[in-house]
Amino acid sequence: MLGVLPAQAAQAVLKAYFQAWKNCWEGRAQAPAFKGRFRSRMAVDIPQGRDLQIVRLNRRWGRMWVPKIGHVLFRWTRDLPVGRRADKGNRVSGARLVREADGWYVVFRVQREVPEPGMHAGPTVGIDRGIVKPLALSDGTFREHGPWLTEGETKRLRRLEKTRERKRRARKSGERNSRRLTRTCDQIVRLRATAKRRAIDWQHKTTTGVAETFSRIGVEDLAIARMVKSARGTVEAPGRCVRQKAGLNRAISGEAWGRTVTMLEYKAAERGGSVVRVPAPNTSRRCSACGCVTPGSRETQARFVCKNPGCGFEANADTNAGRNIDHAAGQAVSGRGDLRSTRSAKRQPPTRPRAA
């Protein structure tokens, strides 16, 4: 069987396996383990770009060569350095065929030389990530979105989920899924994939605009994995408000806060900016005007009113948190403060945001 497998594909598997152990040894991930066939994405790696033989047929379609498969047609949606446009510093170095819920996609790996970005001259900003307001900026603006699915698609998804559960209850233990149940599950997966594509599209457009506008972007260093941990507890110590916590976990996961920061980091670096992670404690409780943390200042979930007698600052709670994040990011960059000390500090004088 190994003789049939292309040597480049086998080498790519070994490289991915070695990288997985390296991430585990450096504390970025857990130890790699075997995945079930139904819990992993089907993919075909083509690590050598010279084997692709990419040809553009017309404005919409292109053709590529996949070892052991043959010629494959694909929709031409991006300009690729092929033919006379390809050279040593700008070429396609590999590709991957990935199976998604609605079909197969091809992802090309392009190697190109880019100039060193200059210093970004824009202003600074702090971003508070939330659920009601997905992104609240320190300048008082918000980046919001609507539901990822339309009303009709949401009703159809709910109807399909009820149908799936009804068919599962009718299935005997150990019996294989029927074709109708499999078709229902496929329809559910396609609808959820549609919602995910729309979410990623919104994140790409939003993060690109933020990275082009601001030079330094401050974000909270959140432990998202612990925030979405289940509150079910154990048999000896059962949790409380489990259903409410499960709904909150779904809302946090749906916003994909970690993916937003990842996009901001590489897009800001490409444009000469930077992303600074700051400690999260007290960013929503501290007054961004006087720097005091006074009980009761967070009157409601959306309103912040400083209870310091000499201040009385009022603002949107998320905007106030964004300003605190921007202040802390400025201290981290300038070196005037120790971010570790903000975990126990009760008072922190604010600093004015400055352009980097």
- Listed in sequence order, the DSSP H helices in the chain are 7-25, 151-170, 179-213, 224-227, 242-255, 257-270, 317-334
Calculate the alpha carbon distances from 77 to 74, 95, 229 in Å.
9, 15, 39
Neighbours of 154 (CB within 10 A): 14
3-state secondary structure of 30: coil
pLDDT one-digit tens code per residue, 159-218: 999 999 999 888 888 888 889 999 999 999 999 999 999 999 999 999 999 999 999 999
Give CA–CA dist 60/75, Å, rounded.
Answer: 6
Q: What is the pLDDT of residues 118-141, one digit of tens each?
A: 888 889 999 999 888 899 998 989
Backbone angles phi, psi at 111, to 5 degrees: -105, 125
3-state secondary structure 271-323: CCCEEEEECCCCCCCECCCCCEECCCCCCCCCEEECCCCCCCCEEEHHHHHHH
Q: Is the pTM of this model over 0.85?
A: no
Contacts of residue 313, Cβ cutoff 8 Å, sequence gap at least 6: 287, 288, 289, 290, 304, 305, 306, 320
- Distance, in Å, from the CA atom of 136 to the CA atom of 133, rounded to the nearest integer, reads 6
Give me the tens of pLDDT residue by residue for the chain, a chain 356 residues long: 566 666 777 777 788 889 999 999 988 888 888 877 666 778 888 888 888 889 999 999 999 998 888 899 999 988 888 877 788 778 898 898 888 888 889 999 998 888 888 888 889 999 999 888 899 998 989 999 999 999 999 999 999 999 999 998 888 888 888 899 999 999 999 999 999 999 999 999 999 999 999 999 999 988 888 888 887 777 677 777 788 888 888 888 888 889 999 999 999 999 999 999 998 888 888 888 888 888 888 777 788 888 888 888 888 888 988 999 999 888 877 654 444 333 333 334 444 443 43
**Token pair for residue 152?**
């009709």
Question: Which of helix, strand or coil describes residue 1?
Answer: coil
3-class secondary structure per residue, 131-163: CCCCEEECCCCEECCCCCCCHHHHHHHHHHHHH
Q: Where are the domains of the chain?
A: 7-25+40-112, 118-144+202-356
Angle at 105 between CA 101 and CA 109, to 5 degrees: 140
Using DSSP's 3-state secondary structure scheme, residue 196 falls into helix
- CA–CA separation, 193 and 178 (whole Å): 23
| C-beta of residue 333 within 8 angstroms of C-beta of residue 276 | yes
Question: Coil, strand or helix: which one is 176?
Answer: coil
